[in-house]
Amino acid sequence: MPDWLRRLAQDRLVWFVVLGLALFGADRLLQARSQNIIKIDLPLVEKLVAQWEGQTERRPNARELDALIEGYIREEILVREAARLGLDGDDIIIRRRLAQKVEFLLADAADKALPDEAALRRFFDENQSQYETPETLSWRHVFADGAAEARALKATLNGNESDWQNIGQPFMLNRQYARQSELELSRLMGTQFAAALFAEKTGAWQGPVQSAFGWHIVKIDKRHGATQAQFAPLVERVARDYQKVERQAALAEAWRDLRLRYAVELLPVEDAGE
């Protein structure tokens, strides 16, 4: 054996480096092997079963459970391959899904138990106008080919309305509506028509009234007055609304706290000519 090789073999530093490289290589080999091992344990199986029960409302049989596990294995392999190939780096859909999952986690942390009745009553009193029922109309109409025809139809209908559904021009929407608010009517026929109809009286055919579609003869069968909201019949709805408002406020606060953990640096824009 050459002297230089004998000296290297007797040098502790050399053996230390060789041993370190060997340990590093073994660790990398074990990590690589562990990447190819998919562990199926009892908590995972219980999770798959719970997901199945949530969708089907029954427990899976043996064949279905095997299919669930095999499906998980397939998905896990594909996810690991995607990560190995770097496919998760710049995919906008994955970015959005990850951001959405964090928002779900923040929302779960923000959920609180229902408040007591006193807190719900305060919330109801502060937002009572949202629960009041506005005045509504039950009404009918006949569509006409112009204002002149509408005036003629009004005279006919006020004389005999027995065949009112077959009089006038065809119309793409309904000829009769029940309990419509002015806002609902505005969305359907236009604000001008809704305001004119709510100004009409009940009991006789009125018009002509113009809508976004054309000219109509209208009749209000009944006015349903506005009602003041009462707490007791609406307590479940008030509780849902309260939780929604509280959740939104808690999410906003959680986002502010999260945002403070990150700094944003604006990099200078490079000269396009460079």
Q: What is the pLDDT of residue 177?
A: 95
Q: Among 107, 115, 129, 113, which Cα is nearest to 235's?
A: 115
Mean pLDDT, rounded, for 10-24: 57
Decide if 72 is inside a domain.
Answer: no
The per-residue pLDDT for range 36-66, each reduced to its tens digit, is 788 888 888 888 899 898 888 889 898 998 8
Residue 34 clears pLDDT 70, i.e. is over it: no
Decide if 105 is inside a domain.
Answer: no
Q: Are residues 252 and 196 in the same domain?
A: no
Q: Are residues 137 and 252 in the same domain?
A: no
Q: How confident is the model at residue 272 (pLDDT cuts 50, 70, 90)?
A: very low
Q: What is the pLDDT of residue 94?
A: 80
Q: How confident is the model at residue 150 (pLDDT cuts 50, 70, 90)?
A: very high
Rounded to 5 degrees, what angle do the CA atoms 27, 31, 35 make?
170
Q: Are residues 191 and 141 in the same domain?
A: yes
Q: Are residues 124 and 195 in the same domain?
A: no
Number of domains in the chain: 2
Q: Beta 136-144 vs 215-224: how paired, if at all?
A: antiparallel
Decide if 101 is inside a domain.
Answer: no
Q: Are residues 124 and 150 in the same domain?
A: no
Q: Are residues 202 and 247 in the same domain?
A: no
Q: Are residues 138 and 253 in the same domain?
A: no
Q: How confident is the model at residue 22 (pLDDT cuts 50, 70, 90)?
A: low
Q: Which of 110-119, 133-142, 231-240 has the weakest average pLDDT? A: 110-119
Residue 76 clears pLDDT 80, i.e. is over it: yes
CATH classification of the domain holding 215: 3.10.50.40
Q: What is the pLDDT of residue 273?
A: 47
Distances from the Cα of 138 to the Cαs of 178, 182, 235, in angstroms? 4, 11, 28
Report how far residue 38's alpha carbon sits from residue 78's, in angstroms, rounded to the nearest whole number.
Answer: 12
Q: How confident is the model at residue 75 (pLDDT cuts 50, 70, 90)?
A: confident
Please check whether residue 217 is in contact with residue 168, taking contact to mean a CB–CB distance below 8 angstroms: yes
Q: How confident is the model at residue 21 (pLDDT cuts 50, 70, 90)?
A: low
pTM value > 0.85: no
Q: Is the dihedral of CA 52, 62, 35, 78 positive or negative?
A: negative
Q: Are residues 144 and 218 in the same domain?
A: yes
Residues 6+ apart with CB under 8 A from 186: 193, 194
Decide if 202 is inside a domain.
Answer: yes
Q: Are residues 194 and 248 in the same domain?
A: no
Q: What is the pLDDT of residue 261?
A: 79
Decide if 139 is inside a domain.
Answer: yes
SS3 145: coil
Mean pLDDT, rounded, for 61-83: 85
Residue 27 clears pLDDT 60, i.e. is over it: no
Residue 103 clears pLDDT 90, i.e. is over it: no
Q: Are residues 156 and 174 in the same domain?
A: yes
Decide if 91 is inside a domain.
Answer: no
Q: Are residues 142 and 219 in the same domain?
A: yes
Q: What is the pLDDT of residue 93?
A: 80
Rounded to 5 degrees, what angle do the CA atoms 109, 246, 105 make?
20
Residue 274 clears pLDDT 50, i.e. is over it: no
Decide if 53 is inside a domain.
Answer: no
The per-residue pLDDT for range 162-220, each reduced to its tens digit, is 999 999 999 999 999 999 999 999 999 999 999 999 999 888 999 899 998 999 999 99
Residue 99 clears pLDDT 90, i.e. is over it: no
Give the structural domain span for 156. 133-224
Residue 10 clears pLDDT 50, i.e. is over it: yes
Q: Are residues 138 and 205 in the same domain?
A: yes
Decide if 167 is inside a domain.
Answer: yes
Chain-wide mean pLDDT for the chain? 82
